[in-house]
Structure 1
Amino acid sequence: MRVGVIGGGIVGLAIGAELLRRGADVTVYDPAPDGTDGAWHVAAGMLAPGGESVFEFPQLERLLEASNQLWPEFAAALGDVGYDDAGTLGVALTADDVAEMAREWKHQKLSPLTGSQLRDLSPALSPRIRAGAYSPTERQVDPRRVVNALRGVLDGRFVQAEVGAVAALPEDRIVVAAGCGTAGLTGLPIRPVKGQVLRLRGEPGLLRHVIDGAADGRHVYLVPRADGEVVVGATQEERTDRHPTAGGVHDLLRAALDLVPGLAEHELTEVTVGHRPGTPDNAPIIGHFRDNVYVAAGHHRNGVLLTPITARLVADLVLTGTADPIIDDFTPGRFGCA
């Protein structure tokens, strides 16, 4: 079977690689197959199924957890993609921050930790931190390494092209996984949600765990890499521009330094702006669209985490026509567009 995948981001590439592994003849269409315009390039790579998304769309939790369980095998098959299972420390600076973060900790059934207990685990944390929790099931991966590995798997199967109409492609089945660009190809309600992310660099070892915290009402996450890079994110703005702002950078740096003062000595190496593909309910769209067309888009904040299960579910659907019931709540038809 010949399958065309529109979109060379992390989700589209993973779908293409899974279809190829199962014997399909795959072609990936992307206007810039070696580019860095996708949300994956900005993403920090937190694999955190118990975050805020489950409160917005409770049915999403089962999908997130199922994909999180697939990540160890998925990462191992790709090689060194920065996969790390040290876990996440949730932290809160003030009493109001504790009240905000406690909802997530309670939902995840995590035992609360005092500030001193947190600093025993991560000495770089500020002595001002009041409380927190440790989540051992949350992980991280480097999305840029994942994309490079997937590009290697699909080498020679890229067509550099801007697809204007799905019907113009010659393949037997078409998967539209073009992120925010999916809206123009399908009419599905996918909007760009702007996010600003910083990258700092210093001596390795300042942080071992991912830090997910609140500082004076500002939410921030810090994702440390083995080479000394720390990814700091992220703003969430209902805007379509790609301009970094002084306010966005200030808010991220202030919260990061409040939680981990030692980051003040790190070099600010990158300020990046990207767009998460959001839907009206901020849950993904996965499933059969119409005729020979399938959709995998709108993953919003969870694109990296949901990559393995999206690839598996879409490949099942395209090759066998059978849909796993786990995607019943995420089909294109829920918006009346299919």
Structure 2
Amino acid sequence: MSKQIAVVGGGVIGLSVAWRLACAGHRVRLIDPAPASGASWVAGGMLAPVAEAGPGEEGLLELGSASLASWPAFAATLTAEAEDPGLRTDGTVLAGLDAADAAELEALAGYLDQLGRSVRRLSGRELRALEPGLAPNVRSGLLVPGDLAVDNRLLLTSLRTAARRRGVEFLNASARAVRLGTVELTDGSTVDIEITVIAAGAWSGSLHPALAGLVRPVKGEILRLRGRSGALPPPRRTVRGIVEGRPVYLVPRAGGELVLGATQYEAGFDTDVTVRGVRDLLADAERILPGIAEYALVECAAGLRAGSRDNLPLIGWLEPGVLVATGHHRNGLLLAPVTADAVAALVDGGTHFAAAFEPEGAT
């Protein structure tokens, strides 16, 4: 049965949920003052649950792997309905610069072995055979062939187009609070609705009492680089480096571009790009991939990820008529397909393994 649904938030999660619900025949209104912006717009685009795995996050690895398996079909459907989101299937290489970095990668490989998710260990020479631009002093690394990457900006554009074509109505406004049957806007007006989905990222915590203290902003800075004439070409694969214990990633884009990250700060809602952040990113990235010194620096930006207490997303009912889909932290793009499927299942009265949010146990 078709329902009237409001989705609050127009990042990758909100757009994916709105599109999926509209495909299921529901009447959907998306509320966001600037859809397809924010953290989703400045994301790196890595779809890498294995490369980002860590002890204590086995649930996130399982959820991310399930969503990764959905990504090829998700991208193919988007391409057919709107535009190609730029999915890349070349995989990820992890590179360690010194002995301590190499030991950290070996520990990760051992942990993944225990989980039955083996990766290929590579010497520095083997790494450079795959990616010739890597620095001569890169000691060793790992190859994760199953990881994917996506052009986040092409993805957002495609999702917005697909949602519009499916009849989603876009309301360029800011929500102040969500209550049963009503979304209160900051201009004092209200939207009366059957079901509301809170998918407002780092801003979700202020929209419903049950989310207070469960979602926080986590700042991340990214740089966008473009190869110039005479410069070495960018890598084919995503390169995740560890430089004296500090993570850095470089994600290739079409046209010789690279997206470079990944600073991470607990800085509230501050979105200024800092000199320190830019300096550290460039210095560490150049030690992994020296050729970027000849690239053009075309953009510096910061976004606010929606952090949760345990890095797992919050997906489920807050009360009858109010759903939440937020707290995806660094995995919003990766988890978009499985989150959209979970919300659609819940709206239609079913269940889904990704719907793990339980208000009673979360407070």
Do the structures match in fold with TM over 0.5? yes
Partner of 2:42: 42
Range 50-59 or range 279-288, more displaced: 50-59
Are 1:286 and 1:332, in contact at CA under 8 Å, matched by a contact in 2?
no
Please list the CA deviations of residues 12-54 of structure 1 after superposition, one character each: whole Å capped at 9, or x if unmatched.
0100000010100111011223x62x21011111000114454
Q: Secondary structure at the match of 1:277?
A: strand
- For 2:238 and 2:345, the matched residues in 1 are separated by 33
Partner of 1:335: 362
Q: Which runs of 5+ in 1 are unaligned?
A: none
TM-score by length of 2: 0.88
Q: Secondary structure at the match of 1:109?
A: coil
- For 2:15 and 2:140, the matched residues in 1 are separated by 40
What amino acid is aligned across from residue 162 of structure 1 in structure 2?
Answer: S
Please list the CA deviations of residues 55-96 of structure 1 after superposition, one character each: whole Å capped at 9, or x if unmatched.
343212111100000000111112211100000011101001
**What is the deviation of 1:331?**
3.7
Partner of 2:7: 5
Range 156-165 or range 217-226, more displaced: 156-165
- For 1:205 and 1:73, the matched residues in 2 are separated by 30
Q: Secondary structure at the match of 2:192?
A: coil
**What is the deviation of 1:213?**
1.1
- For 1:172 and 1:221, the matched residues in 2 are separated by 42
What amino acid is aligned across from residue 247 of structure 2 in structure 1?
Answer: H
**What is the deviation of 1:249?**
1.0
2:220 equivalent among 195, 208, 213: 195
- For 1:177 and 1:133, the matched residues in 2 are separated by 35
Partner of 1:32: 34
Are 2:177 and 2:206, in contact at CA under 8 Å, matched by a contact in 1?
no
Q: Does 1:163 align with 2:175?
A: yes
**Percent of paired sites with the same residue:** 42
Are 2:273 and 2:302, in contact at CA under 8 Å, matched by a contact in 1?
yes
Partner of 2:302: 273
Partner of 1:102: 106
Q: Secondary structure at the match of 2:271?
A: coil
**1:214-233 maps to which residues of 2 (within 5 A)?**
214-233=242-261
What amino acid is aligned across from residue 298 of structure 2 in structure 1?
Answer: T
Range 65-74 or range 203-212, more displaced: 203-212
Partner of 2:341: 312
Q: Does 1:260 align with 2:285?
A: no
What amino acid is aligned across from residue 94 of structure 1 in structure 2?
Answer: D
- For 1:54 and 1:314, the matched residues in 2 are separated by 27
- For 2:203 and 2:289, the matched residues in 1 are separated by 37
Are 1:12 and 1:177, in contact at CA under 8 Å, matched by a contact in 2?
yes
Change (3 A) 1:45 1:332: farther
- For 1:214 and 1:172, the matched residues in 2 are separated by 48
Are 1:26 and 1:157, in contact at CA under 8 Å, matched by a contact in 2?
yes
Are 1:218 and 1:251, in contact at CA under 8 Å, matched by a contact in 2?
no
**1:63-102 maps to which residues of 2 (within 5 A)?**
63-79=63-79, 80-102=84-106
Partner of 2:59: 59
Are 1:295 and 1:332, in contact at CA under 8 Å, matched by a contact in 2?
no
Partner of 1:301: 330
- For 1:300 and 1:178, the matched residues in 2 are separated by 12
Q: Which runs of 5+ in 2 are unaligned?
A: 183-190
**What is the deviation of 1:191?**
0.4
TM-score by length of 1: 0.94
- For 1:51 and 1:184, the matched residues in 2 are separated by 32
What amino acid is aligned across from residue 238 of structure 1 in structure 2?
Answer: E
- For 1:334 and 1:301, the matched residues in 2 are separated by 23
- CA RMSD, Structure 1 to Structure 2 (Å): 1.5
Q: Does 1:131 align with 2:133?
A: no
Change (3 A) 1:102 1:333: farther
